[in-house]
A = this chain, B = another copy of it.
Amino acid sequence: MGRFSIFTAAMTEKLQEYKTFLDAAVEEHVFQEEPIELFEPINYILALRGKRLRPIITLMACDLFSNDYHVALKPALAMEFFHNFTLMHDDIMDSATMRRGKSTVHRKFGVNAAILSGDALLIKSYQYFEDVPEHFFKPLVVLFSETGMLICKGQQMDMNFESRSDVTEEEYMEMIFYKTGALTAGAFKIGALLGNASAEDAEHMYEFGKNLGIAFQLKDDLLDVYGDKAAVGKKIAGDILENKKTILYIEAMKLANEQQKDELLFWYSKSTDNVDKIYAVTAIFDKLDVDKKISQKIEKYTILAKKSLENVSGNVKSKDLLYSFSDYLIGRTS
């Protein structure tokens, strides 16, 4: 979160406060238990940091409703742990070699380690709810499990889509809600509940996070092709090379003429690392203004998200940080 230009100085300071608080906590929670082989891969992936958006979200949501967001620390860490558990396992499934500019866990420690340490991290994330005030334990764990199931379903749908060329936009949107939106939604709702939000407001926060998460994933798809390559820390146009049916592909197939369709189908049936594939596919995307079309969709989901935020009616602090945070997420270039 290096670019805070759309944030006021006070907001930047607030975000930095969350980040510092979280970073210190993650560092403090470096796992030193035995056997170290189980926890080394966990400490490795957590040390890669990333944006830590999900735990920040939980703190932010709690802070909106309450005067002490510190109560949300461990559940915020649970969000981060859970997210990293999914990365460890998804990277195996996707045969990904790089993550945040470094080797993926399975490449560095082996597939077995990535499986088992991922399992341990998932269980750890459940354990990080154990210290919340008693009456919150069950609703939070229930929500957490529900979120986890959606994410598994989303990952499965994503894998199913790989062997299909006829994925509809509706199916795709459902998949990214499950795979990405659900965790953002859960992170906001968990924070809100811990801040003693009403059930209604917590639900608004869930919807806010859901649509923001969808916009975030669409932006991610866009950045894979149109992003600032160096900063992404992943393979350039990796989605194209891996024949991923992202929203760009789906939109392009909708707009393409017969010849373009054939060309897309040709490239997306090939398994190659040849850069020609990137040029050819991107050229079609460019011709069809896919970039602009997807940006409009991102805008649409961001507006939906903001409407849910508007609907939060309880006694809250300024919502400005969350509005700016939304703008930041969709404005990022990497």
Identify the A interface with B (CB < 8 A). Answer: 33-35, 37-38, 89, 92-93, 111-112, 115-116, 118-120, 122-124, 126-127, 130, 134, 137-138, 141-142, 145-146, 148-149, 152-153, 155-157, 159-160
Contacts and interface: CB of A to CB of B under 8 A. Distances in A.
Nearest to A157: B35
A147 to B, nearest CB: 9
A149 B130 contact: no
A115 B112 contact: no
Given A38-B152, A92-B115, A116-B152, 16 more contacts: A35-B153, A35-B156, A37-B159, A37-B160, A38-B153, A111-B111, A116-B155, A116-B156, A119-B119, A119-B152, A120-B152, A122-B123, A123-B145, A123-B148, A127-B149, A137-B138
A42 to B, nearest CB: 11
B127 A112 contact: no
Given A112-B93, A134-B138, A149-B120, A156 B38 contact: yes
Contacts of A137: 137-138, 141
A119 B122 contact: yes
A17 B208 CA distance: 50
A146 B120 CA distance: 11
Contacts of A126: 126, 141, 145
B92 A112 contact: yes
Interface of A is mostly: helix
What are the 3 closest A-B residue pairs judged by CB atoms, nearest first?
Answer: A38-B156, A120-B152, A123-B148
Contact of A127 (B124, B145, B155): B145
A111 B115 CA distance: 11
Contacts of A134: 138
A128 to B, nearest CB: 10
Contacts of A157: 35
A167 to B, nearest CB: 13
23 contacts: A35-B153, A35-B156, A35-B157, A35-B160, A38-B152, A38-B153, A38-B156, A89-B119, A92-B111, A115-B115, A116-B152, A116-B159, A120-B149, A120-B153, A122-B122, A123-B145, A126-B141, A126-B145, A130-B138, A130-B142, A130-B145, A134-B138, A138-B138
A143 to B, nearest CB: 11
Contacts of A92: 111-112, 115
Contacts of A38: 152-153, 156
Nearest to A33: B153
Contacts of A124: 149
Given A35-B160, A112-B93, A115-B92, A123 B149 contact: yes
Contacts of A111: 92, 111
